[in-house]
């Protein structure tokens, strides 16, 4: 697997494939299908200070080549994640990226300080882009100055590198990316879901109880690629790309756009084996395309001889 | 254990208006451990429709490694599914969820099986298994109208079967709840629309009742938290159960419906 290893701040990835936060719970469900140690990393479900039930149902609605969700950050809360979920995950040889969410700046700081102490948490993913909660979340991810400030405060308390998850629901994603880089972010993860809606034909009302939800799946892939293409040329920190990936070919496409690793979200619901399947298929695809190492693909869309120092292990 | 398997379709036919009976062959049939479990079907190897469709198992034939599903053709996914014929392959994840507990009634006791519309199918395998262990079964099955009625003859093989239709075009006019008032039983098993489940739960709070819930699902295995319902614990508002992996069958009162 030496053709797939990637070094990123805090993360020594045996391959650049990881399930995206919110699409994999805390790993327990998918551990019945395959050995989680095969994964490059796992982005666990967003954790808040207190337990959250989330939104009323219906929480999901299918769309053309995609789905809307409005789960509402349901999670068992910081204490249980630290005492139950993370120790359970430590039986696997896989770095954990802990997704940190909150309503107030203090919430983020409390979760980040505590969860980053766990030995298997190698990085944080600062969730400033959840579109499905009323307060917090996306409020921090649409105003550059607020995002910069939050990143800085979290960096002060975190014991591991901090990646900031960017929302596509902004006018200028490059400005947001630069703001969090300036705030000290070690990396970016992008993109979160796009706010969308579907209506019921019979009632005329929104299908989702939350009315709006986050659009994910293959439908958003072109948006993700365009945003990664723009941001990767404007910042000097690595990007973990996501948005509709479900095959090895698409992983390469995200690398071409400028991603240094990728996360797979919605596709896990369609095929529980999608991550190990992609990992297995990547080497032969690299052969077909004539690459020795996957890092050679990074940034080809805009770079002549694209390769940055942090790629090779 | 849950398997993902490419299964061969043995047969498919329309048994009532827009109601299809689909019979497939699968190795995971041996893993099915209770009536009321379901499978998650990818109806096309395409991006649209993207998600799998949860469909309940209506009967199991372990000797021939086959199982049957009955579903209603309604949206994009089930319309595609209804077009499939014998010999074609289907990507199926299953068996999923926890089914009806057959051990809650003893031989000689009476079980009342109450189904509404497309909630009727999983009760068929339940009726088979209860009958096999010597339980007396009574069925009360509700439908919208005569053209939607299915499996009356099949259920009759195992016990008394009452049919209701909302418009009165077949059987007794009205709802299943009108009929079950007059029946005596030791345990009630039900599957159907939420208002029906609510009415039954309220009517029989002193009885042993098991309900199978339906909810929009994402993953079907408990990871996405789409099909969550609150538990009846009034002391906290964060306790939950997932319909897909904790259910779909719950004891009445266990969750808020």
Q: How far is CA A235 from CA A152, A190, A308, B41, in A?
A: 17, 13, 12, 43
Provide the 3-class DSSP secondary structure of residue B244: coil
CA distance A66 to A63: 5
Can you give the three-state secondary structure of B105-128, one letter per residue?
CCCCCEEEEEEEHHHCHHHHHHHH
Taking residues A244-254, report their average pLDDT.
98
Residue A295 pLDDT class (50, 70, 90 cuts): very high
pLDDT in tens, B49-84: 999 999 999 999 999 999 999 999 999 999 999 999
Q: A144: distance to nearest CA of chain B, Å?
A: 30
Structural domain boundaries in chain B: 3-95, 110-212
Residue B234 pLDDT class (50, 70, 90 cuts): low
Taking residues A84-90, report their average pLDDT.
98
Q: A307: distance to nearest CA of chain B, Å?
A: 33
Q: Are B19 and B12 in contact (CB under 8 A)?
A: no
Q: Are B60 and B211 in contact (CB under 8 A)?
A: no
**Triad B46, B49, B143: Cα angle to 5°:** 135
Q: Residue A309's pLDDT is what? A: 44
**Helical H segments across chain B, by residue range:** 76-82, 121-132, 152-156, 176-180, 194-203
* A54 close contact with B: CB closer than 8 A: yes
Q: How far is CA B252 from CA A54, B75, B247, in A?
A: 23, 30, 12
CA distance B169 to B166: 8
Residue A188 pLDDT class (50, 70, 90 cuts): very high
Taking residues A227-236, report their average pLDDT.
97
Q: B197: distance to nearest CA of chain A, Å?
A: 17
Taking residues B109-135, report their average pLDDT.
97
Assess whether pLDDT exceeds 80 at residue A193: yes
User: Could you tell me if the ipTM is greater than 0.90?
Assistant: yes
Assess whether pLDDT exceeds 80 at residue A132: no
Based on the residue annotation, tell me whether A275 is a catalytic residue of this protein: no
Instruction: Find chain B residues with C-beta within 8 A of A54's C-beta.
Output: 225, 228
Q: Residue A136's pLDDT is what? A: 56
* A22 close contact with B: CB closer than 8 A: yes
Residue B4, beta-bridge partner list: B93
Residue A312 pLDDT class (50, 70, 90 cuts): very low
**Helical H segments across B133-257, by residue range:** 152-156, 176-180, 194-203
* A270 close contact with B: CB closer than 8 A: yes
Structural domain boundaries in chain A: 6-54+71-198+216-304
Assess whether pLDDT exceeds 80 at residue A18: yes
Q: What letter does residue B248 receive in the DSSP assignment?
A: B
Residue B238 pLDDT class (50, 70, 90 cuts): confident
Q: Percentage of chain B surpassing pLDDT 90?
A: 91
Residue A67, beta-bridge partner list: A62, A216
Assess whether pLDDT exceeds 50 at residue A230: yes
CA distance B226 to B218: 6
Residue A139 pLDDT class (50, 70, 90 cuts): confident
Residue A306 pLDDT class (50, 70, 90 cuts): very low
Q: Residue A239's pLDDT is what? A: 98
Assess whether pLDDT exceeds 60 at residue A307: no
Instruction: Find chain B residues with C-beta within 8 A of A215's C-beta.
Output: none
Q: What is the largest CA-CA distance in chain A?
A: 56
Residue B187 annotated as binding site: no
What is the C-alpha radius of gyration for chain B, rounded to an integer number of angstroms?
A: 18
Q: Is the dihedral of CA B246, B252, B254, B257 positive or negative?
A: positive
Q: Is the dihedral of CA B122, B185, B152, B211 positive or negative?
A: negative
In A, minimum Cα distance to B217 occurs at A60
In A, minimum Cα distance to B228 occurs at A57
Please give the annotated binding residues of A, written as ranges.
Answer: 21, 45-46, 69-73, 99, 127, 165, 191-193, 217, 243-244, 265-266
Instruction: Find chain B residues with C-beta within 8 A of A61's C-beta.
Output: 216
CA distance A249 to A10: 26
Q: What letter does residue B31 receive in the DSSP assignment?
A: G
DSSP chain A: -TTT-EEETTEEESSSEEEPTTSSTTSHHHHTTS-GGGSS-EEEEEE-SS-B--PPSP-EEEETTEEEE-----B--HHHIIIIIHHHHTTSS--EEEEE--SSHHHHHHHHHHHTTSTTEEEEEEE---TTSSSSTHHHHS-HHHHHHHHHHHHHH-SS-EEEEPPS-SS-HHHHHHHHHHTT-SEEEE--PEEE--B-TTT-SBSSTTS-EEEESGGGHHHHHHHHHHHHHH-SS-EEE-SS--SHHHHHHHHHHT-SEEEE-THHHH-TTHHHHHHHHHHHHHHHHT-SSGGGGTTTTT-SS---TTS--
Average pLDDT, chain A: 94
Residue A130 pLDDT class (50, 70, 90 cuts): confident
What CATH class is the domain A6-54+71-198+216-304? alpha beta
Q: Are B186 and B246 in contact (CB under 8 A)?
A: no
Taking residues B87-97, report their average pLDDT.
97
CB neighbours of residue B107 within 10 Å? 9
> Residue B221 and residue A29: Cβ atoms within 8 Å?
yes
Residue A70 pLDDT class (50, 70, 90 cuts): very high
> Residue A24 and residue B42: Cβ atoms within 8 Å?
no
* A53 close contact with B: CB closer than 8 A: yes
Assess whether pLDDT exceeds 90 at residue A212: yes
Q: Are B158 and B80 in contact (CB under 8 A)?
A: no
Q: A277: distance to nearest CA of chain B, Å?
A: 13
Taking residues B151-165, report their average pLDDT.
97
Assess whether pLDDT exceeds 60 at residue A51: yes
Q: Which fold has domain B3-95?
A: Elongation Factor Tu (Ef-tu); domain 3 (2.40.30)
What is the C-alpha radius of gyration for chain A, rounded to an integer number of angstroms?
A: 18
> Residue A57 and residue B49: Cβ atoms within 8 Å?
no
Q: Which CATH architecture has domain B110-212?
A: 3-Layer(aba) Sandwich (3.40)
């Amino acid at each position: 697997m030496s053709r797939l290893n990637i070094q990123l701040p805090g993360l020594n990835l045996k391959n650049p494939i990881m399930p995206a936060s919110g699409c994999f719970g805390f790993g327990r469900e998918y551990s019945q299908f395959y050995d989680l140690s095969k994964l490059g990393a796992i982005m666990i479900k967003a954790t808040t200070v207190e337990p959250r039930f989330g939104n009323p149902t219906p929480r999901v609605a299918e769309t053309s080549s995609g789905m809307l969700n409005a789960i509402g950050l349901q999670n068992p809360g910081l204490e249980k994640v630290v005492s139950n979920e993370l120790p359970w995950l430590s039986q696997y040889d896989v770095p954990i990226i802990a997704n940190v969410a909150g309503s107030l700046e203090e919430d983020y700081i409390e979760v980040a300080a505590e969860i980053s102490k766990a030995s298997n948490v190698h990085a944080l993913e600062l969730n400033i882009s959840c579109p499905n909660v009323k307060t917090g979340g996306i409020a921090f991810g649409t105003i550059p100055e607020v995002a910069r400030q939050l990143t800085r405060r979290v960096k002060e308390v975190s014991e591991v590198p901090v990646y900031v998850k960017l929302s596509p629901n902004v006018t200028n994603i490059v400005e947001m990316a630069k703001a969090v880089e300036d705030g000290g972010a070690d990396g970016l993860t992008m993109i979160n879901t796009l706010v969308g809606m579907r209506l019921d034909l019979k009632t005329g009302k929104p299908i989702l109880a939350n009315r709006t939800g986050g659009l994910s799946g293959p439908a958003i892939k072109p948006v993700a690629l365009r945003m990664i293409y723009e941001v990767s040329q404007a910042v000097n920190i690595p990007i973990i790309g996501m948005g509709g990936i479900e095959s090895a070919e698409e992983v390469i496409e995200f690398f071409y756009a400028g991603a240094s690793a990728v996360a797979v979200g919605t596709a896990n619901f369609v095929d529980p084996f999608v991550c190990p399947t992609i990992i297995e298929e990547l080497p032969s695809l690299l052969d077909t395309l004539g690459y020795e190492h996957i890092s050679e693909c990074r940034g080809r869309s805009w770079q002549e001889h694209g390769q940055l120092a942090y790629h090779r292990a | 254990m849950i398997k993902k398997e490419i299964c061969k379709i043995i047969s498919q036919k329309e048994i009532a208006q827009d109601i299809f009976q689909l019979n497939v062959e699968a190795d995971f049939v041996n893993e099915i451990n209770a009536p009321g479990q379901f499978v998650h079907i990818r109806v096309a190897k395409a991006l649209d429709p993207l998600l799998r469709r949860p469909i309940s198992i209506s009967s199991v034939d372990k000797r021939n490694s086959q199982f049957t599903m009955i579903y209603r053709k309604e949206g994009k996914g089930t319309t595609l599914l209804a077009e499939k014929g014998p010999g074609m392959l289907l990507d199926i994840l299953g068996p999923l969820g926890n089914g009806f507990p057959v051990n809650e009634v003893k031989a000689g006791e009476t079980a009342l099986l109450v189904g509404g519309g497309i909630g009727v199918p999983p009760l068929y395998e339940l009726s088979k298994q209860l009958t096999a262990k010597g339980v007396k079964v009574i069925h009360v099955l509700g439908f919208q109208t005569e053209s939607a009625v299915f499996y009356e003859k099949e259920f009759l093989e195992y016990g008394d079967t009452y049919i209701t239709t909302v418009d009165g075009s077949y059987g007794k006019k009205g709802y299943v709840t009108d009929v079950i008032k007059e029946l005596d039983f030791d345990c009630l098993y039900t599957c159907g629309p939420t208002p029906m489940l609510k009415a039954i739960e309220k009517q029989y709070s002193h009885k042993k009742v098991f309900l199978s819930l339906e909810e929009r699902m994402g993953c079907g295995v408990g990871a996405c938290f789409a099909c969550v319902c609150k538990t009846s614990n009034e002391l906290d508002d964060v306790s939950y159960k997932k319909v897909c992996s904790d259910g779909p069958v719950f004891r009445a009162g266990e969750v808020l419906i």
